[in-house]
A and B are shown apart, each in its own frame.
Chain A
């Protein structure tokens, strides 16, 4: 494979041309977020984690989406109240495919939507009283819920409600944790601040207020999976590998997770982080406070999985290292068969990505394993450290776009004409109408898991399915 991509396209010229459409003030701002990766660059040369400009169809969400939707929502044995008007909880109800096992409505609540459904009087007189009552009702109707979180929507911070006071009072009254998150949607510039707030809330309202379970018995092989939301079962397809190499996964953050797993996390020997962006904060905190090291890993595609398993095993003794080698060897024939089956059909295909979290870089080598190459990538809500990490995954000439607008992405794709676009539901149909194969890379397009060796087979099948479907040949009428 070549060392650079997009060598036959004047990508810089394309960027300039696309940006011409903006009014000057906005053009200047957007320019800083788009770049073409240079050889041996230390970072991608783009600004990030800055306010979206108004009126441009940003693909980003909000802090509530980051806290309730991403971090807290998947904790299955707690009830997460969307505190405020009805909409936020309605739109985020069951949207992310955070798989879990439990009796929904009895001891698990992941696919339910609880809201205080604010009315005008709650805005005028404040909603604390309603929150008190809501928590009492939940406690009565859902006795097996192990805790409650209060996820603030925009009005809460604007009308001056004291959800912390309500939470403290109710927690002692019902004898269960009640955890307030100040994740109003107007805070910060994207989902990202919501992740941070949610991490801080776990620090202050879980770690500071409760202890690991007394019955919990540690072993030297205890690790956690942090930043895996179990979309389509990803965390399970990861956990199985960690268990196979001899480790115990004592907590999943937060896909299929429980409050007890959060509480027991300080007992881990090492925290393993998949989605760095959304959960590095809590890992850093545990490093400082409990002296628990953390390590990033990547379970997309066999190259990265093998490298990650070895890196993880190196933190432990020889038995783990030997098992890691045995596990890699065990899966190798299946991996070889998958690659033999799909690579001939996918070799040389160009991919453009636009996703959130870790995926704009983490999935790159899974594509490379199949002979495909990334020609453009970008993040909804990355920070500079994400763009630094990205340089390890993509090649010179790759078009990098931060907080891309629908307009820019559409124009870039039109001009570069990749063979596959990987992004979200809001983008999917735009590109399919253009006749381009597309896979959702937030929800795995209702498939998955994509993590782990088991997931890689599905990933390969799905990419092939998107690219090789006959529908793309039917778009033009024969007359």
Chain B
């Protein structure tokens, strides 16, 4: 027995004690009837081969470790960024448990949403009664200012009509007639979480903007910014507001989760806090322009905004110096205001930091995966650092996106090896990493399996990050955000360097104090 009260051993050490090692051996030998160690080793090697890569890339039907979720979680996230809003997911209830869990594990914050809890009878007769009772219960218990309705694939397959159902529920007095209940159909078998975000955003804006009495009001100088689905939203949205304040621009962030997903620990639980106010959302119709920070999160929304007479501009998760330059120039152009000196100073500090560290970044090869916009933003930043994006992979990526990536890296000597893989997954990336190795992987927590298998260090810079804490509180956008990203990359590089030079008398020749 190794356990003791003085020094309690948990799973990290307990299972490496001799009594457990022996137990594992016995279980394997006597009861598991598995394959021989030799066979496992042989197949393990084969999975790393070129031959395996080719078979792996020939896959048509099975997806393995994708970099995408389904529409309603994106829709839920978009809705949660509005003041006092309770997402109401119409369909099976298990989905909501999953969405809430996933978002909570990343932000380490409560995540609220309700389900209409449809079961077999609703599958046969439709979910109208679930909508009627569900809206009444949600309204009475949780006292939201708005309920945003979206769907699971169950409700989509049976063809429930949200618009009709909501009208019906209002007529049955589930919620008052004037109570805002925007909605979006969000089938899980179309697109991914970023399309769900787009659908819900359009649903909410349509609800507030399609009222006839507002048509004749003149445009203001205000600018709307739609951040898109972003794991760093807490830091990033605050950074956007800070930048706007320096400019003196009246900016409305449409779906601002920054305070929603960052409530204080002061003894009081706030079910609702922060978020874009409903009034500001309504007024956002009259803004001069709307900027999307993530093109692939807002295809339909931006089209809708354009039809309302606003100028629109789109970015692809702008990271780094030139992407931030472009964002600021666009803000200056749209607002007619000069870029403040304070931001120019921040730019200079960022460039200075890159100059200080470039020797550790130059020529380093990277794999990047995640949402299409993140991959584009990250690849561009790496090019600026003199690093080389090599494999750029997104399960949500389309052919159009692949071309966009190719264009982004074109002309840079650091982009010569870059290739975009749209519609591919992390099992494809595993083959790529074995056959065309890189120095670092940039992705999310799911990449830790790739790191374990390939021994290529992982840098967590996109949603979801489950196994590191609080990164989402720091921005990655703006010059300050770029500095954070730079430091995260550098820290990993330096840690890796130390780890590779730490064997006394063998590799520690290069175990330098000053780097």
Task: Mark contacts of B123-163 with chain A using CB atoms, 8 A cut-off: 1 yes-contact digit, 0 otherwise.
Answer: 10000001101111111111000000000111001100000
Interchain CA distance A20-B220 in the complex, whole Å: 46
- Return B427 CB to nearest CB of chain A, in Å: 8
- Does B94 reach chain A (CB closer than 8 Å)? yes
* Among B8, B19, B55, contact of A457 (Cβ-Cβ < 8 Å): B8
- Does A290 reach chain B (CB closer than 8 Å)? no
Contacts of A273 in B (CB 8 A): none
* Among B2, B34, B44, B138, contact of A55 (Cβ-Cβ < 8 Å): B138
Interchain CA distance A114-B65 in the complex, whole Å: 7
- Does B515 reach chain A (CB closer than 8 Å)? no
- Does A162 reach chain B (CB closer than 8 Å)? no
* Among A23, A81, A429, A477, contact of B140 (Cβ-Cβ < 8 Å): A23
Interchain CA distance A237-B2 in the complex, whole Å: 12
Contacts of A232 in B (CB 8 A): 10-11
Contact A117 to B63, CB < 8 A, known contacts A56-B114, A65-B94 = yes
Interfacial residues of chain A within 94-146, with CB under 8 A of chain B in the complex: 94-95, 99, 101-107, 111-120, 122-123, 130-134, 136-138, 140-141, 143-144, 146
Interfacial residues of chain A within 139-193, with CB under 8 A of chain B in the complex: 140-141, 143-144, 146, 153-155, 157-159, 185-189, 191
Contact A154 to B153, CB < 8 A, known contacts A54-B116, A91-B99, A116-B63 = yes
User: What is the size, in residues, of chain B's interface with A at 8 Å between Cβ atoms?
Assistant: 110
Contacts of B43 in A (CB 8 A): 106-107, 143-144
Instruction: Select from chain A the residue with minimum beta-carbon distance to B90.
Output: A54
Contacts of A58 in B (CB 8 A): 93, 97, 115, 117
Interchain CA distance A449-B8 in the complex, whole Å: 11
* Among A146, A251, A406, A432, contact of B31 (Cβ-Cβ < 8 Å): A251
* Among A77, A187, A233, contact of B15 (Cβ-Cβ < 8 Å): A233
Contacts of A59 in B (CB 8 A): 97
Contacts of B102 in A (CB 8 A): 90-91
Interfacial residues of chain B within 421-450, with CB under 8 A of chain A in the complex: 427, 430, 446, 449
- Return A42 CB to nearest CB of chain B, in Å: 29
Q: Are A435 and B4 within 8 A (Cβ)? A: no
- Does B52 reach chain A (CB closer than 8 Å)? yes
Instruction: Select from chain A the residue with minimum beta-carbon distance to B158.
Output: A158
Q: Are B92 and A106 within 8 A (Cβ)? A: no
Could you say which interface size class chain A belongs to? 35 or more
Contacts of A264 in B (CB 8 A): 31
Q: Are B133 and A158 within 8 A (Cβ)? A: no
Contacts of B98 in A (CB 8 A): 61, 65, 87-88, 91-92
- Does B400 reach chain A (CB closer than 8 Å)? no
Q: Are A433 and B270 within 8 A (Cβ)? A: yes
Interfacial residues of chain A within 212-258, with CB under 8 A of chain B in the complex: 213, 215, 232-233, 236-237, 239-240, 243, 248-252, 256, 258
Q: Are B137 and A53 within 8 A (Cβ)? A: yes
Contacts of B92 in A (CB 8 A): 62, 154, 185-186
Segment at the A interface, from B187-195, B310-318, B320-328, B495-503: B187-195
Interchain CA distance A59-B27 in the complex, whole Å: 36
Contact A85 to B188, CB < 8 A, known contacts A432-B265, A476-B266 = yes
Q: Are B8 and A117 within 8 A (Cβ)? A: no
Instruction: Select from chain A the residue with minimum beta-carbon distance to B263.
Output: A433
Segment at the B interface, from A1-9, A336-344, A345-353, A390-398: A336-344
Q: Are A186 and B4 within 8 A (Cβ)? A: no
- Return A358 CB to nearest CB of chain B, in Å: 19
Interfacial residues of chain B within 447-504, with CB under 8 A of chain A in the complex: 449, 453
* Among A54, A146, A188, A458, contact of B137 (Cβ-Cβ < 8 Å): A54
Interfacial residues of chain A within 407-432, with CB under 8 A of chain B in the complex: 407, 410, 424-426, 428-432
Instruction: Select from chain B the residue with minimum beta-carbon distance to A430.
Output: B110
Task: Mark contacts of A310-351 with chain B using CB atoms, 8 A cut-off: 1 yes-contact digit, 0 otherwise.
Answer: 000000000000000000001100100110110000000000
Interfacial residues of chain A within 249-291, with CB under 8 A of chain B in the complex: 249-252, 256, 258, 260-261, 264
* Among A22, A64, A132, A251, contact of B141 (Cβ-Cβ < 8 Å): A22
Counting chain B CB atoms within 10 Å of each CB, which of A138, A237, A426 scores highest?
A426
Q: Are B63 and A435 within 8 A (Cβ)? A: no
Instruction: Select from chain A the residue with minimum beta-carbon distance to B196.
Output: A87
Contact A64 to B94, CB < 8 A, known contacts A58-B117, A143-B43, A186-B123 = yes
- Does B357 reach chain A (CB closer than 8 Å)? no
- Return B135 CB to nearest CB of chain A, in Å: 6
Contacts of A141 in B (CB 8 A): 47, 52, 55-56, 59
Contacts of B119 in A (CB 8 A): 51, 186-189
Counting chain B CB atoms within 10 Å of each CB, which of A118, A141, A334, A406 scores highest?
A141
- Does A448 reach chain B (CB closer than 8 Å)? yes
* Among A107, A116, A130, contact of B40 (Cβ-Cβ < 8 Å): A107
Task: Mark contacts of B1-17 with chain A using CB atoms, 8 A cut-off: 1 yes-contact digit, 0 otherwise.
Answer: 11111101111001100
Instruction: Select from chain B the residue with minimum beta-carbon distance to A81.
Output: B62
Contacts of B72 in A (CB 8 A): 87
Interchain CA distance A65-B96 in the complex, whole Å: 12
- Does B118 reach chain A (CB closer than 8 Å)? yes
Contacts of A365 in B (CB 8 A): none
Q: Are A260 and B268 within 8 A (Cβ)? A: no
- Does B386 reach chain A (CB closer than 8 Å)? no
Q: Are B60 and A133 within 8 A (Cβ)? A: yes
Q: Are B189 and A118 within 8 A (Cβ)? A: yes
Q: Are A454 and B3 within 8 A (Cβ)? A: yes
Contacts of B405 in A (CB 8 A): none
Contacts of B99 in A (CB 8 A): 91
Q: Are A144 and B35 within 8 A (Cβ)? A: yes
Instruction: Select from chain A the residue with minimum beta-carbon distance to B116.
Output: A54
Q: Are B33 and A233 within 8 A (Cβ)? A: no
- Return A281 CB to nearest CB of chain B, in Å: 19
Task: Mark contacts of A346-371 with chain B using CB atoms, 8 A cut-off: 1 yes-contact digit, 0 otherwise.
Answer: 00000000000000000000000000
Interchain CA distance A134-B61 in the complex, whole Å: 5
* Among B11, B56, B122, contact of A447 (Cβ-Cβ < 8 Å): B11
- Does B219 reach chain A (CB closer than 8 Å)? no
Instruction: Select from chain A the residue with minimum beta-carbon distance to B111.
Output: A426
- Return A460 CB to nearest CB of chain B, in Å: 8
Contacts of A112 in B (CB 8 A): 64-65, 427, 449
- Return B15 CB to nearest CB of chain A, in Å: 6
Contacts of A26 in B (CB 8 A): 133, 136-137, 140
Q: Are A239 and B27 within 8 A (Cβ)? A: yes
Interfacial residues of chain B within 20-69, with CB under 8 A of chain A in the complex: 20, 23-24, 26-28, 30-35, 39-40, 43-44, 47, 52, 55-56, 59-66, 68-69
Q: Are A260 and B32 within 8 A (Cβ)? A: yes
Interfacial residues of chain B within 61-108, with CB under 8 A of chain A in the complex: 61-66, 68-70, 72-73, 88, 91-95, 97-102, 104-105, 108
Q: Are A22 and B137 within 8 A (Cβ)? A: yes
- Does B112 reach chain A (CB closer than 8 Å)? yes
Contacts of A191 in B (CB 8 A): 94
- Does B109 reach chain A (CB closer than 8 Å)? yes
Contacts of A84 in B (CB 8 A): 153, 188-189
Interchain CA distance A261-B32 in the complex, whole Å: 6
- Does A309 reach chain B (CB closer than 8 Å)? no
Contacts of B213 in A (CB 8 A): none
- Does A209 reach chain B (CB closer than 8 Å)? no
Instruction: Select from chain B the residue with minimum beta-carbon distance to A339.
Output: B5
- Does A405 reach chain B (CB closer than 8 Å)? yes
Q: Are A90 and B66 within 8 A (Cβ)? A: yes
Q: Are A85 and B97 within 8 A (Cβ)? A: no
16 residue pairs bridging A and B, Cβ less than 8 Å apart: A21-B140, A23-B136, A54-B130, A87-B188, A103-B40, A105-B430, A112-B65, A113-B65, A138-B62, A154-B92, A154-B152, A186-B91, A243-B26, A447-B11, A457-B8, A458-B14
A interface residues with partner B (beta carbon < 8 Å): 21-23, 25-26, 51-65, 77, 81, 84-88, 90-95, 99, 101-107, 111-120, 122-123, 130-134, 136-138, 140-141, 143-144, 146, 153-155, 157-159, 185-189, 191, 213, 215, 232-233, 236-237, 239-240, 243, 248-252, 256, 258, 260-261, 264, 330-331, 334, 337-338, 340-341, 405-407, 410, 424-426, 428-435, 447-449, 453-454, 457-458, 460-461, 471, 475-477
